[in-house]
Amino acid sequence: MGKINGIFRYQKYMSFFRMRFLAGLQYRAAAFAGVITQFAWGFMEILVFRAFYEVNPGAFPMTREALSSYIWLQQALLALFMTWFLENDIFHTITDGGIAYELCRPTDLYVMWFFRSMANRLSKAVLRCLPILIVAAFLPAPYGMRLPASPKAGLWFLITGLLGFLVVVAFCMLVYIATFYTYSPVGIRMVAISMVEFLSGSVVPLPFLPEGFRQLIELLPFASMQNVPFRIYSGDISGMEIYTRAGLQLFWYIALVWLGKRLTAAALKRVVIQGG
């Protein structure tokens, strides 16, 4: 009986996942505009770094080919790893009183929102990633995207990519939950997004940062997002270091989910819904 109840609970959240995923696939025009924007941004980044590499090619910790692969993966999988892909519906549910309806559902609020967030990001990534990856694969070196450094790197890219995606969603859940404790989510969103953009390697890949500062950042959850899978793909992270980074990703995922669940439970004990 316990197993049957567990299956039903799982199916319940998968239904939320499926509905949100299918809803996200409807925005094809927005996805097309996003692909064009990401192509422009990717080319711009590569050309900016090209200027620095031509001045002193041996002064940088990543080859131009590895850097180009990093940038194109970043653009193709933008929806999976960028924290500014937040759901306004969840914020509105908290601030407008719609949380009352959510609390009437026979579900765990944290788990339901977690599945919704995953589906929202995956639907955007499915629509955008393939055109970018295909075009980038046919660009000439060193501007295009190359194959993984090895079959092992390709496999661990998929594993750590999944773990990094889960860490991103778990962190974004903390941003949603923090809205319970504020009058407006705007300030929290701005601070969280600005911090993660830099510390996750979105603005500048982490190997380009000063050594001591980089070593500190790599212990934080932000470095367990896009930084790990993208650098494994290019071969910048290899050997036993792969297992260390994957273990750190798993640790931060569990820690962030644990913290998110505790904060959600505390917030729901004090939530006040005004209106009639």
Model pLDDT for residues 240-267, shown as the tens digit of each residue: 999 999 999 999 999 999 999 999 888 8
Least confident of 18-27, 125-134, 188-197, 219-228: 18-27
Looking at the predicted structure, is the pLDDT value of residue 211 above 80? yes
The answer to whether 153 and 246 are in contact (CB under 8 A) is no
Sign of the torsion formed by the C-alpha atoms of 195, 196, 199 and 201: negative
pLDDT at position 272 = 65
d(CA 61, CA 181): 42
d(CA 247, CA 218): 13
Question: CA-based angle 126:17:189, to the nearest 5?
Answer: 75
Looking at the predicted structure, is the pLDDT value of residue 190 above 50? yes
Q: Which two tokens stand for residue 124?
A: 């955007």
Least confident of 34-38, 130-134, 217-221: 34-38
Looking at the predicted structure, is the pLDDT value of residue 8 above 60? no
pLDDT at position 9 = 64
**Average pLDDT of span 182-202:** 84
pLDDT at position 275 = 52
pLDDT at position 276 = 44
Q: Which two tokens stand for residue 198?
A: 């830099």
- Please report which confidence band the pLDDT of residue 63 belongs to, taking 50, 70 and 90 as the band edges: confident
- Higher pLDDT pick, 5 / 246: 246
- pTM recorded for the entire structure: 0.89
Looking at the predicted structure, is the pLDDT value of residue 27 above 80? no
The answer to whether 179 and 191 are in contact (CB under 8 A) is no
**Average pLDDT of span 2-11:** 57
Q: Which two tokens stand for residue 93?
A: 């549910």
* Mean of all residue pLDDT scores within the chain: 85
Task: Please name the amino acid found at residue 242.
Answer: I
